[in-house]
Copies of this chain bind each other. A is one copy, B any other.
Amino acid sequence: MKINQFAIAPTTLADEKAELLGIQFINQSDLQLTPHRLLHRLLQQSFPEVMSTEAADSKIANLLAADQLDALSLTQTSYDIKPLHILNLILQLLGFEAGREFELDAPAKIPSKVNLPKFRHETLTNDDLLHAWYQLLITHTTTGQTFLDQLAGRGYFQRRKSLPKPLFFNGKAQPVFDTTQLIHEVVYVESPQDTDHDGLRDLLKVEITRPVESNQQPVPVLYTASPYNQGTNDEAGDALTHDVNVPLTEKKPTSSTHSDNQPSSEKLPDPRVVNAQTTQADEAFGNTFDYSLNDYFLARGFAVVYAAGIGTKESDGLRTTGDPEETTSTIAVIEWLNGKRTAFTNRTANIAIEASWSNRHVAMTGRSYLGTLATAAATTGVAGLKTIICEAGISSWYDYYRENGLVIAPGGFPGEDADVLAEETFSREQQAGDYSRIKTKWQQQLATIGEEQGRDTGDYNDFWDARNYRKNANNIKADVMIVHGLNDWNVKPRHAEKLWRAISQLPISRKLILHQGPHIYINNFRSLDYTDMVNLWLSHELYDLDNYAEKILPDVLVQDNVSAENWQAYPDWGAPDNQVAHYHLTPSGLSTESASQTSVTFNDHLEQSLFQRYAKDNAQWQRDLVKQSSPLDGHRQIFQAPVQTDELVIDGCPTLHLNVSSDQSVGLISAELVDLGEFKRLNPLPTTLARQAMAVGYHFRKEDLREYELAKKESPYQLISKAHMNLQNRKTLTHVETITPGKVYPISLELQPTHYRLTAGHQLGLIVYATDFGMTVRGNQNITYTLSLANSWLELPRL
């Protein structure tokens, strides 16, 4: 078991003593105790569930300091207290089992990776014991939390009076706020636009959960903008999903697919006249979506705010799938939290309510569309938004639904497009009364999106340009933490990488975490103290705590793809000055030696029954694509590199240079980079190690404990990266050219960025093909592609 902790703040002994006093783990008089009595005191404090000394002693006697020596006896004897004794006790308190996970006569040799204290003496002094216990408190147990968090879940802070709120320990906010008295309230923020054109500014429903203590002392806010959290129209979305079994069609050549025309702005209605002011909300709410990372912060002195935005249930407006209007609606909430905008207690009485409980420091959180809106908000530079934690967020919607002039589906969702997502999230539809009044406008809006998204061309046009947040990256003032899965084929890694590059020169703090998952949350992995990292970060960002979070947290943290529970810090991802490995494409495979002068071809048309099978079962198509001797022989070209004798670490965007022709006036090229060889690789999804094992507070919420494990069986390959291009867009993205059948064109195809460790014995593979059954349109067209290998090569950025 490897427990990687990156959120530990370095401390001196003086810091440690002061902080132990601060959380009332010890008091001043304890410092005068003999080491044996101090040890007893520290052990007693480690069982917060018991009140009496007798009860604590029963627990203490169940720990062994050494073989044949229980901890209670140790405190009662005059034996010297040795490092071995304390290490044994610490490991047991952390949840390691003596005799199975470590040996009592050599605890320091525990095979698990765990943060252990260093001792300065062979016979331990009070200072040694205090240092040991401080380190114990900040070390992760076997169930994914610091020991102090575990003590909190067992009632540690509930039993202590007059603790300061907030309370920090090792730079991180502690759960001292009362989660039994949380306030749940709804307000309606008036946004500075009228997207449904009813002559009234859009009201936006906002759901707030905050500690009652915030009535006395303002607290910071975690704000999650989630278009999903008022419900989704899944069936209507499915019905709108586009047929992808359609041919690729020829596009009219143009020198630019988009204009720089600004949309004409309509007159904005006046704000509502405020009839009265109140501090008392008029509406509460019950069960809703919540992100357990947000929940974790409630006990630690943060408020949590969810808003679904324009066009969602009980808000005004229309869905737009990521345009500037949606961004405006997203930041209206921040502006209200920052005292700059009006909210009302309900939709009609015009009674205003202030966020008097907000300390005006806001962070945005959430994954996928939620992280997307965090990025969108940050690119406005809105005041009060101190940081965003963008998990698997979209940074440009073109890169979500399109690529290089092609319609490209997010993995797993063929036929989805901006209009489908708009329909799915237009939860106003779920209220028949409201929907009956807005239906006509909504149908118009949906038709407009359907038209403007340009599914017939795949072009980067004004619609997509308006949904490219990266072009406004220079406006970002918030510090940014990006979290992304290197195997996320829904929101692909490009979104993270291009945002990371776009903010690289800005005067902000930036952090990046790349994990081996697909489109998932990572706040409950045993091997990583992600939650602590976010705590360190947010204590700094939102409580202005001078905890050096920006220095302590690694700039780039990457989960290893070869071994489980392995996280490594790096200075950058895909740095421009990375080395580059070059491979020629030759008929016998990828070669670092010399180029080939020959050509190879493949044809994209499949026999109908095979086509139907792959259209139904994309996973089977993917397996056959990679397999030598499969029904796809002749329909793709595989280039294998020699078996690795050394390790290769790819870091950044691979680029594929091809000289290619189509025998038709249309054509598309796809490429996949794969790791070949029968090896045990990480499972595609984390395993749930223990259900509900982590307490997020004292009898508050619970969270499963999960971890990526190595598969029990070997697998033949792992996808590393991929890319697609319309040959009509071969020069630049916004330039459309004709294709002369048979004419060879040079193209440069930037694959999705990655960080991939290819160890000795593995083999790199490149597959060049056309139709991607999971992502492109599938016209099953009879097109033959020819690759002139002389000028075809692959460039891999490497460490």
Contacts of A153 in B (CB 8 A): 286-287
Known: A62-B434, A155-B284. A50 touches B346 (CB 8 A): yes
Q: Which of A97-105, A522-530, A534-542 faces chain B?
A: A97-105
CB nearest neighbor in B for A181: B180
Contacts of A285 in B (CB 8 A): 49, 154
Known: A286-B698, A287-B693. A186 touches B52 (CB 8 A): no
> Could you tell me the distance between the alpha carbons of A545 and B773 in the complex, rounded to whole angstroms?
62
Q: Do the beta carbons of B58 and A348 come within 8 Å of each other?
A: yes
Q: Do the beta carbons of A61 and B283 come within 8 Å of each other?
A: no
Contacts of A605 in B (CB 8 A): none
Contacts of A432 in B (CB 8 A): 62-64, 92, 97-99, 104
> Could you tell me the distance between the alpha carbons of A15 and B157 in the complex, rounded to whole angstroms?
48
Q: Do the beta carbons of A57 and B695 come within 8 Å of each other?
A: no
Interface 1/0 per residue, A82-106 and B, CB below 8 Å: 0000000000100001111000100
Copies per complex? 2
Q: Which of B63, B154, B692 contacts A433 (CB 8 A)?
A: B63
Is residue A699 contacting chain B, with contact meaning CB distance below 8 A?
yes
Q: Do the beta carbons of B62 and A431 come within 8 Å of each other?
A: yes
Contacts of A64 in B (CB 8 A): 432-433, 436
Contacts of A388 in B (CB 8 A): none
Size of the chain A interface, CB-CB below 8 angstroms: 61
Contacts of A55 in B (CB 8 A): 282-283, 345-349
Contacts of A58 in B (CB 8 A): 314, 346-348
Shortest C-beta distance, A239 to chain B (Å), equals: 10
Q: Do the beta carbons of B695 and A287 come within 8 Å of each other?
A: yes
> Could you tell me the distance between the alpha carbons of A71 and B235 in the complex, rounded to whole angstroms?
26
CB nearest neighbor in B for A101: B235
Q: Which of B155, B286, B699 contacts A155 (CB 8 A)?
A: B286
Q: Do the beta carbons of B71 and A699 come within 8 Å of each other?
A: no
Q: Do the beta carbons of B433 and A71 come within 8 Å of each other?
A: yes
Is residue A702 contacting chain B, with contact meaning CB distance below 8 A?
yes
Q: Which of A220-247 contact B (CB under 8 A)?
A: 235-236
Is residue A70 contacting chain B, with contact meaning CB distance below 8 A?
yes
Shortest C-beta distance, A423 to chain B (Å), equals: 13
Known: A282-B55, A347-B55. A433 touches B62 (CB 8 A): yes
Is residue A182 contacting chain B, with contact meaning CB distance below 8 A?
yes
Contacts of A346 in B (CB 8 A): 50, 52, 54-55, 58
Q: Do the beta carbons of A49 and B283 come within 8 Å of each other?
A: yes
Q: Do the beta carbons of B235 and A100 come within 8 Å of each other?
A: yes
Q: Which of B52, B99, B282, B286 contacts A345 (CB 8 A)?
A: B52
Contacts of A41 in B (CB 8 A): none
Contacts of A125 in B (CB 8 A): none
Q: Do the beta carbons of A287 and B692 come within 8 Å of each other?
A: yes
Contacts of A71 in B (CB 8 A): 433
Q: Which of A760-777 contact B (CB under 8 A)?
A: none
Q: Which of A701-726 contact B (CB under 8 A)?
A: 702
Is residue A77 contacting chain B, with contact meaning CB distance below 8 A?
no
> Could you tell me the distance between the alpha carbons of A153 and B351 in the complex, rounded to whole angstroms?
27
Most buried by B among A51, A182, A236, A702: A51
Is residue A748 contacting chain B, with contact meaning CB distance below 8 A?
no
Is residue A12 contacting chain B, with contact meaning CB distance below 8 A?
no
Contacts of A259 in B (CB 8 A): none
Contacts of A68 in B (CB 8 A): 436
Shortest C-beta distance, A103 to chain B (Å), equals: 11
Contacts of A699 in B (CB 8 A): 182, 184, 286-287
Shortest C-beta distance, A215 to chain B (Å), equals: 17
CB nearest neighbor in B for A99: B432
> Could you tell me the distance between the alpha carbons of A702 and B288 in the complex, rounded to whole angstroms?
10
Is residue A578 contacting chain B, with contact meaning CB distance below 8 A?
no
Interface 1/0 per residue, A163-187 and B, CB below 8 Å: 0000000000000000011101010
> Could you tell me the distance between the alpha carbons of A64 and B63 in the complex, rounded to whole angstroms?
65
> Could you tell me the distance between the alpha carbons of A49 and B98 in the complex, rounded to whole angstroms?
52
> Could you tell me the distance between the alpha carbons of A55 and B62 in the complex, rounded to whole angstroms?
58
Q: Which of A656-682 contact B (CB under 8 A)?
A: none
Is residue A430 contacting chain B, with contact meaning CB distance below 8 A?
yes
Shortest C-beta distance, A240 to chain B (Å), equals: 14
Q: Which of B100, B186, B693 contacts A49 (CB 8 A)?
A: B186
Interface 1/0 per residue, A424-437 and B, CB below 8 Å: 00000111111010
Shortest C-beta distance, A304 to chain B (Å), equals: 12
CB nearest neighbor in B for A50: B283
Contacts of A49 in B (CB 8 A): 186, 283-286
Q: Do the beta carbons of A702 and B287 come within 8 Å of each other?
A: yes
Known: A64-B436, A180-B180. A348 touches B57 (CB 8 A): yes
> Could you tell me the distance between the alpha carbons of A197 and B186 in the complex, rounded to whole angstroms?
61
Shortest C-beta distance, A293 to chain B (Å), equals: 15
- List 8 A-B pairs, Cβ < 8 Å: A49-B284, A55-B349, A62-B432, A63-B433, A97-B429, A155-B284, A182-B699, A287-B699
Q: A55-B345, A64-B433 are in contact. List 15 more A-B contacts (CB 8 A).
A: A49-B285, A50-B346, A54-B346, A55-B346, A57-B348, A61-B433, A62-B314, A62-B434, A72-B433, A97-B432, A104-B432, A154-B287, A155-B284, A155-B286, A287-B692
The 7 A-B pairs of least Cβ separation, nearest first, read A154-B286, A55-B346, A180-B180, A287-B695, A98-B432, A62-B431, A64-B432
Binding site for B on A (CB under 8 A): 49-52, 54-55, 57-58, 61-64, 67-68, 70-72, 92, 97-100, 104, 150, 153-155, 180-182, 184, 186, 235-236, 282-287, 289, 314, 345-349, 429-434, 436, 692-695, 698-699, 702
